Amino acid sequence: MLKWQRAKSKNGQKPLYTFEEIDGNTLRVIRDNKGEIFERNFSIGHRFTTYNGLLVEMVSLNPNGGSSDSGYYLIVREITKNGLGRKTDVSAQNQIDILYWNQNESEEFIAPSEVQGAGVFIEGAVKKVLVNRYEREPKARKACIDHFGATCQICHFNFSKVYGVYGEGFIEVHHVKPLSEINDSYTVDPVEDLVPVCSNCHSILHRGKTPLSVAQMQAMFAGVRKDA
Ligand SMILES: [Zn+2]
Ligand SMILES: [Zn+2]
């Protein structure tokens, strides 16, 4: 049984990664940050999105992975309309990081409708209020919906098509600009910084600690539809 360990630094933390070949089809990656263990198996056929929003399918383990410093233990191919496309390098460390940061449910998303008055929230929640404020800004919202239409830009859900006239014009608006890029003089750009999304997609976008990108969500949704 092959087993490797690699340390990686992120935001001052130093999780330890262990790569274990369970069999010829399955790689187990364990992320150990000071005893906080997160592990996941990657198997042939497993689909996931990469940092740049590509949907890829794992086609084999990398036989040279144990000697690679960057942690490229997976060999994946991009999924295109015509099936499997070109080979793309994907680091197992990156994948476990994405899974870890986005499936850590310690901080649940607070929907705009649940936010009532500032001052009673802890620091993390206040940041969410700040983002949600942009998502609720009526002028910017309207300009965004005028530009894109009241249709989810991820799954194409349209409330009026399903709920008839009662759903007409309803859509949520997601603010994509990272908090780190926002300062006091910031004004929201309705087309660049906002995107209409349905309530389901909006919830999943915000499920993790840091929101997924719209490209990642679109790739995920395309993958689900392909399998359906
Ligand atoms: Zn949607
Ligand atoms: Zn949002």
Q: Which ligand is located closest to the Cα atom of residue 202?
A: 2
Could you tell me the distance, in angstroms and rounded to a whole number, from the CA of residue 221 to the centre of ligand 1? 9
Could you tell me the distance, in angstroms and rounded to a whole number, from the CA of residue 173 to the centre of ligand 2? 7
Note the pTM of the prediction, 2 decimals. 0.55
Q: What structural domains and CATH numbers belong to the chain? A: 3-103 (no CATH), 112-227 (3.30.40)
Q: Which ligand is located closest to the Cα atom of residue 205?
A: 2
| Residue from 87, 103, 24 nearest 54 by CA | 87
3-state helix, strand, coil in the chain (%, to 5): 35, 30, 40
Residue pLDDT tens, the chain, 228 long? 455 566 555 555 567 888 888 888 888 888 888 888 888 888 888 877 776 677 788 888 887 776 666 667 888 888 877 877 788 777 777 778 777 766 554 434 445 444 433 323 334 455 555 666 777 778 888 899 999 999 999 999 999 888 877 777 889 899 888 777 777 777 788 999 999 999 999 988 888 777 888 998 998 888 776 655
Could you tell me the distance, in angstroms and rounded to a whole number, from the CA of residue 157 to the centre of ligand 1? 5
Could you tell me the distance, in angstroms and rounded to a whole number, from the CA of residue 99 to the centre of ligand 2? 19
Q: Exposed, middle or buried by CB within 10 Å (0-12, 13-18, 19+), for 123?
A: exposed
Place of tokens 């759903």: 167
pLDDT on residue 201 = 93
